Chain A
């Protein structure tokens, strides 16, 4: 029999429904796997009692022939989602001890549909990072071994600062590592500039950032409100489709959340891609591009062509402005959103002689270096005299980026195929150089999607010559996640599902 933790979400769902397995069994198997994998540092809080109680309740419902679409399925939750009475800190010191008195809409939707919560997952502090290294709780080790490393060498590094081990990407690095290491069947994640898709690519799993407004942002710790969007990480395209259907949906508590009903995304999985038109944007072919990534991209194009899709070259001329404009818009919105952490209403408080000193001391010790840096950039670009030159200009450029996509879609393109990342996963500590921009370049292929509010999915498409996973990204029309699921499954079928690493930890 296959190990319970190796089942896909869909397989586990079907076996629970047929009563071949129980939720308590599969939940216990995952709690045990989490215990064995503690050193990876994927989870920052384990909710074993809650998980077992939820599993028992699921088993009771399943015994009655009842239960929701996710009944009894154990999943992980990124630390960015407010979970009532449970550790919620967006992996920041400034939210020390915070226990929300409410539940985020996305997680409430998951529990409504029967899912079981295993615990909270590590992430970059306030989702600001691309390697999970800015977390107050320390970096997460990817379950993928660095090229030519022995298991013993990796185990030694695991207990010694993790240096040299691979990053699972970020900001949703705990989510990607946990899903790839089979510590949960799937996980929630969030994406402001690539934080679902880059970790998916780095760990050989599937991640989708849906259209802006598809999932409610209520109860998600805010980073940049016009860019943030919830989405799942899972081991197959089908599993991601099942997760997103439950996470998404209208919410009167978020006025930017779409009132439209959520389709049954799973029915799009396996649908033929014949006759679809796929755009390949020439501006994504960067100078000095990694040859392996370029070859993978060409291969993905060929797979879709073999599936009956028409492939056309398209132009998105404002692509190169997306990343710099993002590094104005995102910090600006963050500086406004994170003004709420004042040491008065929740979280950390450092005493001060007056209120300003209290604020300054609390925020200096509560925020990590990357967050402080971004808040200062954001404050600067919004300050008197600079607002028009930076922020307003960046928002105008955003309009131009969105128009590029609208033009391509109006010309009959159904989806756009691009690489997911400029390279395979890098090592922990490898990019923490003096220049923060080096890390920012990781998001070069993903950030345009957030700037334009579009849906984007990443599916594993192959391995690098060093044996590390590489992903491809598909970008769709607003609210056309279904086409993305069909296309991503075609890639998944052609590439063959990634064989995830055996446990060495």
Chain B
């Protein structure tokens, strides 16, 4: 499989990475090089093989369904580029 320029633009938008028109052909070339590299996998027989979900067999630990932290607004906001009244500030999302 390989991607065309329209697909590169679509992927970039899905990944929320701004890409200029000038960069697109170069990216297309690189992405296709990687897709060509993984192409060999198409020939592997995986009939009846379960996809790996946990690399080491272990049961997820359970804990009581109680609040274990919170009340640390200052810490949560400490690294935010823009805040106001204890909230993250973003451009208007809903018109």
Chain A residues in the interface with B (C-beta under 8 A):
97-102, 211-213, 226-227, 252, 255-256, 258-259, 318, 320-321, 324-325, 327-328, 335, 339, 342-349, 351-361, 363-364, 367, 372-373, 375-380, 383, 386, 389-390, 392-400, 402, 434-437, 440, 451-453, 478
Contact = CB atoms under 8 A, between A and B. Distances in A.
Interface in B20-47: 27, 29-31, 33-35, 37-42, 44, 46
B89 to A, nearest CB: 8
Given A376-B17, A400-B46, 12 more contacts: A99-B78, A212-B55, A226-B52, A226-B55, A343-B81, A351-B91, A356-B16, A363-B15, A363-B17, A376-B27, A380-B3, A393-B41
B93 interface: yes
14 contacts: A99-B78, A252-B63, A255-B60, A324-B41, A346-B81, A347-B79, A357-B18, A360-B16, A361-B18, A378-B15, A395-B53, A400-B44, A434-B29, A437-B34
A372 B61 CA distance: 35
B79 to A, nearest CB: 4
Contacts of A359: 16
Which of B1, B41, B82: most chain A CB closer than 10 A?
B41
A436 B33 contact: yes
B42 to A, nearest CB: 8
A328 B40 CA distance: 12
A344 B52 contact: no
Contacts of B49: 396-397, 399-400
Contacts of B40: 320-321, 324
Nearest to B43: A321
Interface of B: 1, 3, 7-8, 11-19, 27, 29-31, 33-35, 37-42, 44, 46, 49-56, 58, 60-61, 63, 72, 75, 78-82, 88, 90-93
Nearest to B82: A349
A393 B55 CA distance: 16
B37 to A, nearest CB: 5
Nearest to B88: A344
A320 B44 CA distance: 11
Smallest CB-CB A-B distances: 4 pairs: A453-B55, A395-B51, A364-B18, A360-B18
Given A355-B90, A360-B16, A377-B34, A252 B61 contact: yes
A190 B20 CA distance: 34
Nearest to B13: A360
Given A327-B37, A453-B55, A383 B29 contact: no
A339 B63 CA distance: 28
A99 B79 CA distance: 7
A478 B14 CA distance: 37
A373 B92 contact: no
Contacts of B54: 256
A308 to B, nearest CB: 30
Nearest to A388: B51
A478 B34 contact: no
Nearest to B39: A324
Contacts of A398: 51-52, 55
A376 B12 contact: yes
B55 A402 contact: yes
A367 B58 contact: no
Contacts of A344: 80-81, 88, 90
Which of B1, B27, B34, B90: most chain A CB closer than 10 A?
B34
Contacts of B14: 379, 383
Contacts of A348: 81
Contacts of B27: 373, 376
Contacts of A373: 27, 30-31, 34
B29 A321 contact: no
A400 B35 CA distance: 21
Nearest to B41: A324
A101 B29 contact: no
Given A396-B46, A396-B51, A397-B46, A478 B56 contact: yes
Given A379-B11, A453-B56, A478-B56, A436 B51 contact: no
Contacts of B33: 435-437
Contacts of B42: 389, 393
Given A97-B79, A398-B52, A258 B90 contact: no
A352 B81 CA distance: 14
A255 B81 contact: no
Contacts of A395: 51-53
B38 A390 contact: yes
Contacts of A435: 33
Contacts of A327: 34, 37-38
